[in-house]
């Protein structure tokens, strides 16, 4: 009798594993199918969509959401969330404009100004992570507060009158191309490679997945979970800061408005790509696909002359569906 029972349990477990594997395969393939469908629809509706010029435009538009999403992805993989995107991007945009040649200050630090500003972004992420793990406050509350603090500091730095950037090298980051591809896109690809290496070939990447899957297990194994969380938020802040720098290079001015409205497409890219908000599933490859979907969709809607408010509504519907699927795949806790 016990043998029959054991066999039944084994068969049930095998069936469960099979269903889980099937769901995972669907999750991996779905973003690719969605991307191809969107490209096909816009390609039929508007011939300009499939032109070489528009392809380069899409690559340029992809850079900022991809870079920022690659940072936030590691936080989401832990089952946490980083809502500081808009404020920290605004802060780094304002700061870098005052450190390179500009109309408001005598500073002209060039590349060093960019490095300092990236570190400021990383520092903002570090503070968010430190407060979250030490004070044991939910990540969405801490990071949302950090966004407001960063935006306030940004406004103070330029006293209401943004600096106009005069550094030709810095502006060239947004305007120039290499091998026909925007430099911005090359920077995004480099960040993607770094993020992929961190995820796949370092203990840090494995620990991030383990924390998202079940935080108690790595703690019992002696892993410093708090340290990993702080590092994940620091990496997120670094990428957000870089996104703000690129945004200011594009605009040619250092204003807090550079960061406005970036959180929504970033989170959309992450969840649409297949990374679960409950943590432990997904990764940077999913984020790349998600960022492509968001960018291609936005580009196509603009070419079709769709009203910006309808564009926001469409994005909202997409993220609601994606989050619903993410919660279904999860295990109960969505944010830590």
Residue by residue, DSSP assigns 194-238 as: HHHHHHHHSHHHHHHHHHHH-THHHHHTT--HHHHHHHHHHHHHH
Count of CB atoms situated within 10 Å of the CB of 223? 17
pLDDT band at 329 (very low <50, low <70, confident <90, very high): very low
pLDDT value at position 31? 79
Measure the CA–CA gap between 84 and 102, rounded to whole angstroms.
Answer: 26
Instruction: Kindly report, residue by residue over 197-250, the tens digit of the pLDDT.
Output: 999 999 999 999 989 888 888 888 888 999 999 999 999 999 999 999 999 999
| Model pLDDT, residue 26 | 60
Neighbouring CB atoms inside 10 A of 196's CB total 16
> For residue 154, how far is the Cα from the chain centroid?
21
Q: What is the dihedral of CA 148, 154, 159, 165, to 10 degrees?
A: -150
Most confident of 39-48, 53-62, 84-93, 306-315: 84-93
The more confidently predicted of residues 170 and 118 is: 118
Q: What integer pLDDT is reported at residue 214 of this predicted model?
A: 81
- Given a cut of 50, is residue 142 above it in pLDDT? yes
Q: Which spans in 50-202 are helix H?
A: 52-77, 85-99, 111-135, 139-158, 168-175, 183-201
Whether the per-residue pLDDT at 330 is higher than 70: the answer is no
| Residue 12 or 150, more confident | 150
Angle at which helices 183-201 and 168-175 cross, to 10°: 80
Under the banding of pLDDT at 50, 70 and 90, the label for residue 167 is confident
Confidence (pLDDT) at 120: 96
pLDDT digits (tens, 9 = 90+) for 277-328: 878 888 899 999 999 998 998 888 888 887 877 877 877 777 677 666 555 4
Angle at 162 between CA 160 and CA 163, to 5 degrees: 140
Gap between the Cα atoms of 63 and 19, Å rounded: 36
The chain-wide mean pLDDT, for the chain, equals: 85
Identify the CA nearest to 59 among candidates 182, 191, 177. Answer: 182
Report the pLDDT value the prediction gives residue 14, as an integer from 0 to 100: 46
Distance CA 163, CA 184 (A): 22
Q: Indicate the helix (H) or strand (E) that contains 105.
A: none
Helix (H) or strand (E) holding 40: helix 2-45
User: Which two structure tokens, joined as six digits, stand for 179?
Assistant: 């091998």
Instruction: Report whether pLDDT(335) > 70.
Output: no
Cα–Cα–Cα angle for 83, 125, 267, nearest 5°? 30
* Largest Cα–Cα separation, the chain: 86
Per-range mean pLDDT, top range of 43-47, 87-91, 216-220, 329-333: 87-91
Instruction: Supply the DSSP symbol for 165.
Output: B
Structure token pair of residue 142: 């801490």
How many residues belong to the chain? 336
What lies within 8 Å, CB to CB, of 271 at 6+ separation is 76, 277, 290, 319, 322, 323, 326
């Amino acid at each position: 009798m016990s043998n029959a029972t054991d066999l039944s349990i084994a068969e049930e477990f095998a069936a469960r594993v099979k269903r889980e594997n099937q769901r995972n395969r669907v999750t991996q393939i779905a973003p690719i199918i969605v991307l191809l469908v969107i490209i096909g629809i816009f390609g039929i509706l508007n011939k300009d969509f499939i032109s070489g010029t528009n392809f380069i435009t899409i690559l340029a538009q992809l850079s900022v959401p991809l870079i920022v999403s690659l940072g936030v992805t590691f936080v989401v993989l832990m089952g946490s969330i980083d809502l500081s995107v808009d404020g920290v991007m605004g802060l780094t945009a304002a700061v870098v404009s005052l450190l390179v040649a500009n109309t408001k200050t005598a500073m002209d630090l060039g590349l060093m100004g960019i490095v300092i500003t990236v570190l400021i972004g990383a520092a903002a992420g570090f503070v968010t992570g430190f407060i979250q793990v030490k004070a044991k406050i939910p990540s969405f509350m801490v990071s949302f507060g950090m966004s407001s603090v960063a935006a306030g500091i940004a406004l103070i730095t330029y006293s209401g009158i943004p600096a106009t950037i005069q550094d030709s090298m810095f502006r060239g980051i947004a305007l120039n191309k290499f091998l026909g591809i925007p430099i911005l896109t090359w920077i995004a690809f480099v960040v993607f490679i770094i993020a992929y290496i961190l995820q796949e070939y370092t203990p840090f990447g494995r620990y991030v997945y383990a924390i998202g899957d079940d935080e108690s297990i790595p703690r019992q194994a002696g892993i410093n979970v708090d340290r990993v969380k702080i590092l994940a938020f620091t990496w997120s802040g670094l990428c957000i800061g870089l996104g703000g720098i690129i945004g200011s290079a594009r605009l040619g001015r250092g204003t807090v408005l550079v960061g406005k409205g970036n959180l929504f497409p970033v989170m959309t890219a992450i969840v649409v790509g297949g990374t679960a908000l409950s943590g432990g599933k997904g990764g940077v490859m999913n984020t790349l696909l998600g960022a492509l979907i968001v960018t291609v969709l936005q580009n196509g809607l603009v070419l079709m002359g769709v009203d910006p408010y309808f564009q926001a509504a469409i994005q909202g519907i997409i993220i609601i569906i994606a989050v619903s699927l993410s919660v279904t795949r999860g295990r109960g806790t969505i944010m830590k």
